[in-house]
Structure 1
Amino acid sequence: MKKYFAILCLLCTILLQPNTQIHATEPSILLQREMEYMSTQILVTLYEGEEADLDAIEDIYRTYSHLADNYTAPDLTNDDPLYHEKNIVTINENRGVSPVVVDQRLYDLIKLSVNHHNQSNGFFNPAIGNAIDIWKSAIYSEFMYGELPKSVFDQVQLDLEEISNSVNPSSIIFNDNDRSVFINNDNLKLDLGAIAKGYATQKTKEYLDSKNITKYMINAGRSNIIVGVHPDDSDTNDRPFRVGLEDPLRIYQNGISGILEVRNKAVVTSGNYEQFVTYEGKVYHHIISPFDFEPKQYYHVVTIIGDDSALLDSMSTALFSMPLDQATILVQSLGIEAIFYMYDGSIETVNLTQNFRQSEPLADEPNDLTNLYIILGGVVIVGGALIIGISVYDKKKKAKGDVREDKNEA
């Protein structure tokens, strides 16, 4: 999936401060749960509520993980409530054959994805599943992070040509009366990977709102974060959540391009440095334009901030394929905020009202963009090591009966 390791939430203090001792003034974590859905490690932290709320949140992610899964058919046991619920696989298997009656939750998600296609002027397109699969077959191979052989690259281009006329969402036919979805083009494949996680996160927020839970943080893979009010934020103590934005080029201090302070906001990011191959000096990453099926070289990271995590999830993908002038117009039209980590390593912001402290560039360090893809493996390894370290450390604390945060700059 797209956008892993692009935002470092909860790691900000580790990178910024050598002293990681627990302080008595730090708020207690009331409830916390790790889960894995949509091929993503999700961390839910509640400073209000009860265990049943964690159960409800996990059920949300579990449900949409099943409904929006594009690669596996239902494999649940008969006594599972989701057992008889058809998912995206069922719809794609019946393309050009027959309509599929689906659960209301999936029906609404698919209709919203088509609506987002229209809002983004076509730059977000849920109908390019075949193109995504073609590129993934090349990227997720022994050539990942390396050079594609000419024979493989040429085959990718031939395969893309064959489906180039089969990516129009107008081929997705909805019937509100029976809640059915029909793809009338047998060469079109629906893919919700660029919106499903954000949609589930937004549904989680709606659940928390319904329970009047205001102090929480949902870290859905660190590329999709939604926060409420920091538990230590008050009239006398101004304390927002602080999110560190990763610096893929490693040209800024502490390995982060800046610190974003947010309350009651979702923060979503897309990056080009997680999954890629090269061919004749060009990097082919996993975020492709729905118009020519090619990755664009405008940005390394796009981070957007707003109230609707589902909208942000799809639009971060759309913005990545737009030059800055077009991206600016879309950001302004949607009423969201954006931080663009440009291809040359500079930072551009659009509509930004949140407090954002950009990091200082490293002194006496060459800004050699060609080194990005050489050091990429190290970036992923370091990020993973930090996450593992935090998880182990947290479990040790819980075993000792101490469930307080070990960082006061969450």
Structure 2
Amino acid sequence: MKRIKMVLFLSLAMIFLASCNKEYRNKGETKKEITKKDYIKYEDTFYETFDTIVSFSCYTTSEDEFEGYKKIVRDNFKKYNDIFDNYKDYPGVVNVKTINDNPGTEVIVPKELFDLIKFSKESYKNISDRTNIAMGKVTMYWSDLRDYFEDGDGNEDREEDFSILTSEELKNLNGKASVDMIELNEKNLSVKLLNEDTKIDLGAVAKGYTTELVSDLLEEKGLKNFIISAGGNVKAVGQPQDGNRTKFGVGIQNPDNAIGLSDEKIKDVLFINNLSCVTSGDYQRAFELDGKTYHHLIDPDTFYPKNNYRSVTVVTEDSGLADYLSTCLFLLDLDDAKALLSKHEDVGAYFILSDGSTFITENLKDKVESLGAKN
């Protein structure tokens, strides 16, 4: 008999924003802080999209102005949650599930979905094949397995015979799935799956891509200083307007704290402006079976979780690219990860290795608190 225990479902990036004269509303979901003259910092948190907690902080001159930006963030995270979903149908929405349910059929999709699939295919060809959106049968198998035991403590007393599919069985499940079997038609914005084995799963890129889309929209509407955190995806634009700091501080979570093995919550802090910071870690979306932890980052060669690192944090301007790369780098050994990063001078990375030691790329060191960076 085997005992299965959910060890962690979600993890948040830690955002450090200095505060003073705090005024709380709606039981902490929205927070207001008085900052330097003419600016007020507002914060909003919601839980309904992408199976994670989304936080939005910005500096505006009035609450009415903030409410307008807040609506943009909430409405668009909901919009893209529905469009990029491969599990659920939504009234009047054509999404990833629609494509997966209709292999061999041209499915006309929203432009944002078409663009994300195109971005993922091009990145697979031109950057790294470690992030593979076509192996949805396998990634959904692992996701369903985690969801089955998501109650955590509720399953501790439940014992039953259970076994995970072998690597060979998962290979058979994947079948002839391939990115090449995803056909895109630019003229009518359609997507067609050319075989039944190929199923699209955008989980490795959707949150980062959405964060970038929403950030771009906020800037178009005139917002200049804000930060969005969607799970392990952070986008910081402008700078704090509290009169004390010039950069946003983003904490890198201590993986041992996330699973209850350390009281130290933060491994390090990055100080950034106009950059995205995305973390992939072995403590996120994981479950334990017979003393072994299985996380959500699946090696496309073995179809099993890979354990090169505890976490990889990627820092670059575009949040969608950062999300894609954080998965790729996590699934590469360190030498191959360094080789990939050497081709992208505008991408920095912070690795927490299996033994707790760190490797930090040279171009990121001036942003790292433990190496002397200050805000």
Cα distance in 1 for partners of 2:125, 2:255 equals 31
Question: Deviation per CA, 1:37-76, whole angstroms, max 9, x where unpaired?
Answer: 11122121221354323222322212111110111012x3
Is 2:208 the partner of 1:198? yes
Other-structure match for 2:97: 89
Match of 1:225 in 2: 234
Which digits, 9 at most, give the CA deviation of each residue in 1:193-214, with x for residues without a partner? 1111111111122112223422
CA change 1:4–1:328 in 2 (3 A) is farther
* Other-structure match for 1:8: 14
Aligned to 1:181: 191
- Change in Cα spacing, 1:6 to 1:347, as seen in structure 2 (3 Å) is farther
Residue 356 of structure 1 aligns with which residue? 368
Structure 1 residues 353 and 52: CA distance shift in structure 2, 3 A: same
* CA distance, structure 1, for counterparts of residue 239 and residue 72 of structure 2: 22
Instruction: For 1:7 and 1:166, locate their aligned partners in 2 and report how far apart those are by CA, in whole Å.
Output: 36
Q: Structure 1 regions of 5+ residues with no counterpart? A: 14-19, 77-82, 361-408
Alpha carbons 1:3, 1:271 under 8 Å: kept: no
In the aligned structure 2, how far is the partner of 1:53 from the partner of 1:260? 26
Partner secondary structure for residue 47 of structure 1: strand
Q: Is this contact kept in 1: 2:35–2:41, CA < 8 A?
A: no
**More displaced, 164-173 or 243-252?**
243-252
1:349-387 deviation per Cα after TM superposition (whole angstroms, max 9, x unaligned): 013154212399xxxxxxxxxxxxxxxxxxxxxxxxxxx
Aligned to 2:73: 57
Find out whether 1:124 has 2:140 as its counterpart: no
User: Deviation at 1:119?
Assistant: 3.1
CA distance in 2, matches of 1:21, 1:44: 18
Contact 2:34–2:40 (8 Å) recurs in 1 = no
Residues 230-265 of structure 1 show CA distances to partners (whole Å, capped at 9, x for unaligned) of 33377xx55311112111225888421111111111
CA gap 1:127/1:150 in 2 versus in 1, 3 angstroms: farther
Q: 1:240 to 1:54 in 2, by over 3 A?
A: same
2:55 to 23, 43, 49: 43
Equivalent position of 2:328 in the other structure: 318
Aligned equivalent of 2:5: none
Counterpart selection for 1:276 from 286, 302, 305: 286
Contact 1:173 1:181 in 2 (8 A): yes
Structure 2 residue 30 is the aligned partner of structure 1 residue 32: no
Q: What amino acid sits opposite 1:128 in the alignment?
A: M
Instruction: Report which stretch shifted further, 212-221 or 303-312.
Output: 212-221
Residues 208-223 of structure 1 mapped to structure 2, 5 A cutoff: 208-221=218-231, 223=232
What residue in structure 1 maps to residue 354 of structure 2?
343
Q: 1:139 to 1:58 in 2, by over 3 A?
A: closer
Q: Residues 3 and 128 from structure 1, CA distance in 2 versus in 1: closer, same or farther, beyond 3 angstroms?
A: farther
SS at match of 2:364: coil
Partner of 1:106: 113
2:148 match: secondary structure: coil
Tell me how far apart the structure 2 counterparts of residues 135 and 254 of structure 1 sit (CA, whole Å). Answer: 30
- In the alignment, the residues of structure 2 paired with residue 227 and residue 198 of structure 1 have an alpha-carbon distance, to the nearest angstrom, of 13
Secondary structure at the aligned position of 1:153 is classed as coil
Match of 1:255 in 2: 265
The aligned counterpart of 1:170 is: 180
Looking at structure 1, the residues matched to 110 and 285 of structure 2 have their Cα atoms a distance apart, in angstroms, of 33
Superposition misfits of 4+ residues, deviation over 6 angstroms: 143-147
Instruction: Give the distance between the partners of 2:304 and 2:367, measured in 1 at CA.
Output: 34
**TM-score, normalising length: structure 2:** 0.81
Equivalent pair of 1:175/1:181 in contact (CA under 8 Å): yes
Query: In 1, distance between residues paired with 2:229 and 2:206?
Result: 15
- Secondary structure of the equivalent of 2:227? strand
Cα 1:323/1:233, change in 2 over 3 Å: farther
Residue type at the aligned position of 1:230: Q
> Equivalents in 1 of 2:182, 2:71: separation in Å?
34
In structure 2, the gaps of 5 or more residues are 1-7, 23-32
Contact 1:257/1:358 (8 A) holds in 2: no
Offset at 1:290? 1.5
C-alpha separation in 2, matches of 1:280 and 1:252 = 22
Q: Give the corresponding residue for 1:304.
A: 314
* RMSD (Å) for aligned C-alpha atoms: 3.2
Tell me which residue corresponds to 1:373. none
Query: Are 1:287 and 2:287 matched, yes or no?
Result: no
Distance 1:333 1:65 in 2: 32
Aligned length: 342
Percent identical: 28
Q: Secondary structure at the match of 2:202?
A: coil
Q: Distance in 1 between matches of 2:270 and 2:165?
A: 43
Shift of 1:129: 1.0
For the residues of structure 2 that align with 1:291 and 1:116, how far apart are their CA atoms?
18
SS across alignment from 2:306: coil
Q: Which is worse superposed, 173-182 or 30-39? A: 30-39
Residues 20 and 35, structure 2, Cα contact 8 Å, conserved in 1: no
Amino acid at match of 2:74: E
In structure 2, relative to structure 1, the CA distance for the partners of 1:169 and 1:253 (3 Å cut) is: same
